[in-house]
């Protein structure tokens, strides 16, 4: 059996043993989920269950009468609220607000306002993407988004010391899910999925939450489960983060593009969703009564994000400029090398012709002396002829070495050992040439 699987199961059951209150959902919420998944249930059935929980009933009435719903007349009954909003929307509100209240009872060092700010942003982005692509239940996407990081709170509460160490690494720029995997053999996404399965929440919600950090390489078939892709993409376009994040890597951007293409949502549509996210987060946090911080806190974080984006862009432009300069230098070097190679080939051609002429004349002189056609009383003509032939051979060897270098397209291909060996060969040949050129009898 997989060691990591064994370890992760131990982790999950430790969570449940330490948090008995998480082993099951509150009774009313469990009944709400049961009714919403039963096609034969009616608005009356759902209203009857909600009225068992006065706090939930009061919150539902506040939501339906908020400016967000834009009701012409005040809604005063739960049945009317259910009929107005619809069973799916009421279930989403009940689930979201109940789990929000439930998890806020768990002790945590994480900034809760930042946590729910990010969660609500992902929830709204998920719903917007779902609506844009015509997904059957945008409310379902909203709930998945709101609960996608619930595993973070659970792991932190169950393993406070390990989590502190993990959080320090995450704040320094490491990927949270990777550090969690190294530590526990599982991550917050899988922990969240496990918890939702325990609660009997529809499987597809748990699966989407468990897969919201999955990477999809270019060319790899994306998941056919659209809710998984919607949540993954919504999480990636979120700007309000619980912790500081480094700029995305190229593989992260490629993953986002692959998912967007799989969902058939354009970059322009995605940009429009991002443009409207902050205002929607502010508006919906109010009527859902989810504490995400004051407007001042939100705008401060937005300004910080903007400044970080500015710095990232500035660094990118600087790197781009440096790269261009390097490319220009490399292009100049390449052009110079090509010119040098061309000149070397031209000079070699003329020098080889001259060498051939000199060598030919020297050999004629030597042949003339041998045949007695040229009188060489003291033998100096023969010696000179031999010296000329040896000097020409030396020049030919040097030219041969130079031609070898000119065959390289890139000077970086010439390593230090080759150049040192080349220099030694040339020095040896030049010494030979110097000796050969010394005056006779000198």
pLDDT of amino acid 4: 54
Q: What is the reported pLDDT for 158?
A: 83
148 contacts 190 by C-beta, under 8 angstroms: no
From first to last of its 442 residues, the chain has per-residue pLDDT tens of 455 556 677 777 777 777 666 767 788 888 888 888 888 888 899 999 999 989 889 988 988 888 877 777 888 899 999 998 888 888 888 888 888 888 877 777 788 888 888 999 999 999 999 999 999 889 999 999 999 999 998 888 888 888 889 888 888 888 889 999 998 888 999 999 998 888 888 899 999 999 999 887 655 555 568 999 999 999 998 877 776 666 667 788 888 888 999 999 998 999 899 888 888 888 888 878 888 776 667 666 666 666 566 566 666 667 767 777 777 777 766 766 666 566 566 556 556 666 665 666 666 676 767 767 667 666 666 666 677 776 666 677 766 666 665 555 555 555 556 656 666 666 676 666 556 555 544 4
The alpha carbon dihedral of 101, 106, 107, 112 has a sign of: negative
The CATH classification of domain 106-293, taken from the options 3.60.15.10, 1.10.3210.10, 3.40.50.2300, 1.10.1330.10:
1.10.3210.10
Residue/partner pairs of 333-336 with CB below 8 Å, 24 or more apart: 333/411, 334/409, 334/410
Q: Cα separation of 386 and 285, whole Å?
A: 100
Residue 206 neighbours by CB under 8 Å, 6+ apart: 192, 193, 194, 196, 197
Q: Tell the residue number behind the tokens 């039963």, with chain if given.
A: 38
pTM across the whole model: 0.67
């Amino acid at each position: 059996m997989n060691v990591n699987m064994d370890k992760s199961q131990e982790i999950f059951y430790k969570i449940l043993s330490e948090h008995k209150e998480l082993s099951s959902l509150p009774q009313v919420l469990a009944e709400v989920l049961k009714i919403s998944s039963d096609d034969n249930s009616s608005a009356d059935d759902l209203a009857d269950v909600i009225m068992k929980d006065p706090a939930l009933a009061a919150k539902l009435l506040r939501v339906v009468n908020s400016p967000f719903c834009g009701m012409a007349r005040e809604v005063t009954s739960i049945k009317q609220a259910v009929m107005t909003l619809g069973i799916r929307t009421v279930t989403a509100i009940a689930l979201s607000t109940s789990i929000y209240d439930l998890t806020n009872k768990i002790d945590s060092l994480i900034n809760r306002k930042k946590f729910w700010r990010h969660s609500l942003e992902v929830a709204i982005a998920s719903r917007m993407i779902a609506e844009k692509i015509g997904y059957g239940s945008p409310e379902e996407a909203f709930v998945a988004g709101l609960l996608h990081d619930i595993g973070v709170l659970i792991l932190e509460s169950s393993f406070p010391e390990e989590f502190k160490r993990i959080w320090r690494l995450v704040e320094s720029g490491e990927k949270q899910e990777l550090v969690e995997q190294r530590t526990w053999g599982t991550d917050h996404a899988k922990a969240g999925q496990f918890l939702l399965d325990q609660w009997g929440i529809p499987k597809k919600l748990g699966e989407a939450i468990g897969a919201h950090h999955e990477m999809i390489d270019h060319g790899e078939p994306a998941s056919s489960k659209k809710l998984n892709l919607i949540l993954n993409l919504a999480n990636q376009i979120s700007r309000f983060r619980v912790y500081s994040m480094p700029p995305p890597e190229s593989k992260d951007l490629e993953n986002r593009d692959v998912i967007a293409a799989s969902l058939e949502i354009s970059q322009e549509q995605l940009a429009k969703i991002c443009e409207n996210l902050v205002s929607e987060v502010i508006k919906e946090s109010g009527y859902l009564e989810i504490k995400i911080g004051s407007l001042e806190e939100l705008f401060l974080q937005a300004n910080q994000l903007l400044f970080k984006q500015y710095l990232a862009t500035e660094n990118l432009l600087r790197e781009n400029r440096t790269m261009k300069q390097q490319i220009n230098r490399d292009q100049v070097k390449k052009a110079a090398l090509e010119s040098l190679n061309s000149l070397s080939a031209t000079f070699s051609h003329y020098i080889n012709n001259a060498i051939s002429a000199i060598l030919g004349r020297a050999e004629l002189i030597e042949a003339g002396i041998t045949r007695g056609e040229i009188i060489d009383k003291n033998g100096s003509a023969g010696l000179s002829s031999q010296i000329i032939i040896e000097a020409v051979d030396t020049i030919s060897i040097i030219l041969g070495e130079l031609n070898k270098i000119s065959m390289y397209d890139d000077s970086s291909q010439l390593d230090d050992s080759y150049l040192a060996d080349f220099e030694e060969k040339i020095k040896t040949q030049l010494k030979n040439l110097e000796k050969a050129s010394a005056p006779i009898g000198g």
